[in-house]
A and B are shown apart, each in its own frame.
Chain A
Amino acid sequence: MTDTPLSLAEADSTLFARLRRWWSGETATPVKRVQFDRPLTPWMFLLPQLAVVAIFFYWPSVQAVTSSFYLEDPFGFGATFVGLDNYTEALTSRGYMSTAAFTAFFCVVVTALSLGLGLLLAVKADKVIRGAETYKTLLISVYAIAPPVAGLIGMMFFDMHMGPFTQIAAWFGHDLRVGIDYWDTATALIVISVWKQIPYNFIFFLSGLQSVPVSVREAALIDAKSGWRRFCDITLPLLAPTAFFLLVINITYTMFDTFPIIDVIVKDKPANNPMTLVYKVYLDGFKGNDIGGSSAQSVILMVVVALLTVLQFRFLERRVHYG
């Protein structure tokens, strides 16, 4: 238990164990009380952090919630209170619902693929002995690429005139038209998003695998002949804390952090391209100048993500064993 990646995994598992305790209301360790001479001193220490949270999180949130009840003049001359109109309009519009459907689909596919492939690569990399360092570095290096750059690189691969993927598709008789055909664009978005996220999952899964004690693996080797059985019964349950952490992170990634990739792919393209809810918020608000509508959308999104996270902790996390 000496490797650095291992401490990463430990750190996140303890963080989640603490979150879980917080959620279930237990306090394992009694709260340590620190005494200050003056009552104001602790607040002084907290002030910078509180200011950051307030300015960059609460203030915009409050702004979003307020402006979601108003219909704003495109040129910023005034706003009219319209109640829940913005919400009903968003939730009943076909465009919004189809974007929501695509977001859900995108979220499931990208999370499943990037978790699955990340785990597969980690399991394989864990077994590599010769050249392991090079192998790992090559796999991880993609993580260092900024999302917009990843989008650009992906765009070159999927380019309609000279992209190698377009050429490969052409060999199979498919005319790949990313940015024009809905599902072709969707495929490109998924491929690039998954590619970008695999290294992250790989790092965590690999460190998770390496934190499975050698003797436990050896005990399993004596208890079960089939490698697949050992993986399912021993390795996978021991990876569960890592996997749960990654699931939460990956869903957040697909919902929010794929923005730059989507932007690179669909920007300046015809209007019928697939996009996620976050991108639509940006598009309606800043390209469509509909601040009220876009605020309503972002509030809906906030609620959905909060619900999703609560559900994950409530139901899935119960099955996770923290070592």
Chain B
Amino acid sequence: MAHLSLTNVGKTYGGSAQPAVADVNIEIRDGEFIVLVGPSGCGKSTLLRMVAGLETITEGEIRIGERLVNKLDPAERDIAMVFQNYALYPHMSVRDNMAYGLKNRGERKAVIEERVAEAARMLELRPYLDRKPRALSGGQRQRVAMGRAIVRQPSAFLFDEPLSNLDAKLRVSMRMEIRKLQKRLGTTSLYVTHDQLEAMTLADRLVVLNGGRVEQIGAPLEVYRAPASTFVASFIGAPAMSLLDAHVENGQVMLEGHALAPVAHAAGPVTLGLRAEDLRLTSGGVPMRVDHVEELGAQRIVHGTVGDQALAIIDTSEALLPETVHLGVAPSRVHLFDARTGRRIETATQPVAVPAE
């Protein structure tokens, strides 16, 4: 158990001018669950593998506890990693898979047995200890991979998209199990995923990456309520936040010539961010032409256009929709972004404080 600190960490592959990861600064507290999230190719896996020691670090420093680990072998870093495709040793039994790392560290036999038994109990793997991995289901294999990580009692767990090979239902239950397990063990964890839902539900803090750079670090709700950029806004939350060209006039956000909500911002063009779940159908307000409706049972997502800009609203009523609906939004739920840089513009009407969890 230890804190983890990444200082100005960067990675440039040989023969490439563009860094794959650049200027990453993250301080991870002891026992914290951090999720690295971003689209594929954003450098999140590379960053994780740099912490693991599977990729060299070309810039900056990574410390696990107080130890600078830049030059250490993976086996010396006191970390455990769970891979996407489990990476179990196919020729070893479940028991040997878990014990292998400990054996190599010269742990006493009694200690190894005790830890393997404990992990097997926690993960409900006891009936399978003498089986080979190929005789296990996907979920069981993933448990063995977790068991292999747990028995090491490492300073940090590293998860590389551990659930993406499982089916949707199993993924949800494994997600909860991972969270429970981590809470119970209190081991600092770094978790990579491209699934924003997984990220939201697991993380103490999210790190949103884009093009090898950190876009935003914060608690899931913080990131959801106050996305730092249009990128984060469109990535976190489902359906994705609608981003529209708008401008501010006389203290009002104007969308296609219609006043939407009052804001305290100087006049000029802005990018307007609206979450589908914040929009309401009203009798007056901005008119939207309905294109198509996705029925989800409990709610429906109404896709439409204002002018020629696409927009989505979540509607919980079951009424028949007219061709044109009118929509409104609470001023506190309006997100504004700089039209040029895409960075968030803080306005006085938006909630500044985020309630503690």
A residues in contact (CB < 8 Å) with B? 213, 215-216, 218-226, 229, 233-234, 237-238, 240, 321, 323
Within 8 A of A (CB), among B81-112: 81, 83-91, 100-101, 104
Are A233 and B52 in contact, with the CB atoms below 8 A?
no
Closest chain B residue to A216, Cβ basis = B87
Cβ of B75 within 8 Å of any chain A Cβ, yes or no, is yes
Does B71 make an interface contact (CB < 8 A)?
no
Residues in chain B near residue A220, CB distance under 8 A: 89
Instruction: Spell out B's residues near A (CB within 8 Å).
Output: 52-54, 73-76, 79-81, 83-91, 100-101, 104, 132, 134, 148
User: 30 A-B contacts, Cβ less than 8 Å apart?
Assistant: A213-B87, A215-B84, A216-B87, A216-B90, A218-B52, A218-B54, A218-B83, A218-B87, A219-B81, A219-B148, A221-B53, A221-B54, A221-B74, A222-B74, A222-B75, A222-B79, A222-B80, A222-B81, A223-B101, A223-B148, A224-B100, A224-B104, A226-B104, A229-B104, A233-B100, A234-B89, A237-B91, A238-B91, A321-B91, A323-B134
The CA of A218 and the CA of B75, in the complex, are separated in Å by 10
Chain A residues with Cβ below 8 Å from B54 are: 218, 221
Chain A residues, Cβ within 8 Å of B76: 225
CB-CB under 8 A from B88, the residues of chain A are: 216, 219
Number of A-B residue pairs having CB atoms within 8 Å of each other in the complex: 64
Q: How far is the CB of B114 from chain A (nearest CB, A)?
A: 19
B49 nearest in chain A by CB position: A218
Select from chain A the residue with minimum beta-carbon distance to B72: A225
Q: Which residues of B contact A237 (CB under 8 A)?
A: 91
Cα(A35)–Cα(B265), bound, Å: 81
Contacts of B90 in A (CB 8 A): 216, 238, 321, 323
Q: In the complex, what residues of A have CB within 8 A of residue B134's CB? A: 323
Q: 4 closest pairs, A vs B, by CB?
A: A215-B87, A223-B101, A225-B75, A219-B87
Instruction: For A229, give the chain B residue with the smallest CB separation.
Output: B104
- Set of chain A residues within 8 Å of B91, measured between Cβ atoms: 237-238, 240, 321, 323
Chain B residues contacting A222 (CB-CB under 8 Å) are 52-53, 74-75, 79-81, 101
Residue of A nearest to B85 (CB): A215
Chain B residues near A225 (CB-CB < 8 A) = 73, 75-76, 104
Using A216-B89, A218-B54, A323-B134 as known contacts, say yes or no to A223 and B83 having CB atoms under 8 A apart.
no
Given contacts A223-B101, A225-B76, 11 further A-B contacts (CB under 8 A): A215-B86, A216-B87, A216-B90, A222-B79, A222-B80, A224-B100, A225-B75, A233-B100, A237-B91, A321-B90, A323-B90
Residues of chain A within 8 A (CB-CB) of B86 are 215
CB closest chain-B residue, reference A321:
B91
CA gap between A240 and B73 in the complex, in Å: 28
Cβ-closest chain A residue relative to B158? A222
Whole-angstrom distance between the Cβ of A17 and the nearest chain B Cβ: 12
In the bound complex, what is the Cα–Cα distance between A238 and B88 (angstroms)?
A: 12
Q: Per a CB cutoff under 8 Å, which of A224, A240, A321 touches B101?
A: A224
Give Cα A224–Cα B89 distance, bound, in whole angstroms.
13
Do B87 and A223 touch across chains, with their CB atoms under 8 A apart?
A: no
Rounded to whole angstroms, the CA-CA distance of A199 and B149 in the bound complex is: 40
| Interface-centre pick from A215, A219, A222 (highest chain B CB count, 10 A) | A222
Rounded to whole angstroms, the CA-CA distance of A323 and B92 in the bound complex is 11
Chain B proximity of A93: nearest CB distance (Å): 47
Least distance between A49 CB and chain B CB atoms (Å) = 35
B104 touches A223 (CB 8 A): yes
Chain B residues within 8 Å of A233, by CB: 100
- Chain B nearest CB, measured from A213 CB (Å): 7
Tell me, rounded to whole Å, the shortest Cβ–Cβ distance linking B56 to chain A: 13
Residues from chain A with a CB closer than 8 A to the CB of B52 are 218, 222
The smallest beta-carbon distance between A224 and chain B, in angstroms, is 4
Give the chain A neighbours of B81 by CB distance below 8 A: 218-219, 222
**Least distance between B145 CB and chain A CB atoms (Å):** 8
A240 to B79 alpha-carbon distance, docked (Å): 30
Shortest distance from the beta carbon of B101 to any chain A beta carbon, whole Å: 4
A234 and B86 CA atoms in complex are apart in Å by: 15
CA distance A238 to B90 in the complex (A): 8
- Within the complex, the shortest CB–CB distance from A288 to chain B, in Å, comes to 51
A215 and B141 CA atoms in complex are apart in Å by: 14
Who on chain B is nearest to A236 by CB?
A: B91
Closest to A222 in B: B74
Contacts of A215 in B (CB 8 A): 83-87
Q: Give Cα distance in the complex from A233 to B100, angstroms.
A: 9
The reply to whether A221 and B75 contact each other, CB–CB distance below 8 Å, is yes
Q: Give the distance in Å from the alpha carbon of A233 to the alpha carbon of B75 in the complex.
A: 15
A213 touches B101 (CB 8 A): no
Q: Which residues of B lie under 8 Å from residue A323 when comparing CB positions?
A: 90-91, 134
Pairwise interchain contact A213-B75, C-beta atoms closer than 8 A:
no
Q: Give every chain A residue within 8 A of B79 (Cβ-Cβ).
A: 222
Q: Give the docked Cα–Cα distance between A213 and B76 (Å).
A: 22
A residues less than 8 Å from B74 (CB atoms): 218, 221-222
Bound together, the chains give a CA A223 to CA B148 distance in angstroms of 9
Name which residue of chain B comes closest to A233, CB basis.
Answer: B100
Q: How far is the CA of A215 from the CA of B49 in the complex (A)?
A: 11
The closest CB in chain A to the CB of B99 belongs to: A223
Closest chain B residue to A217, Cβ basis: B87
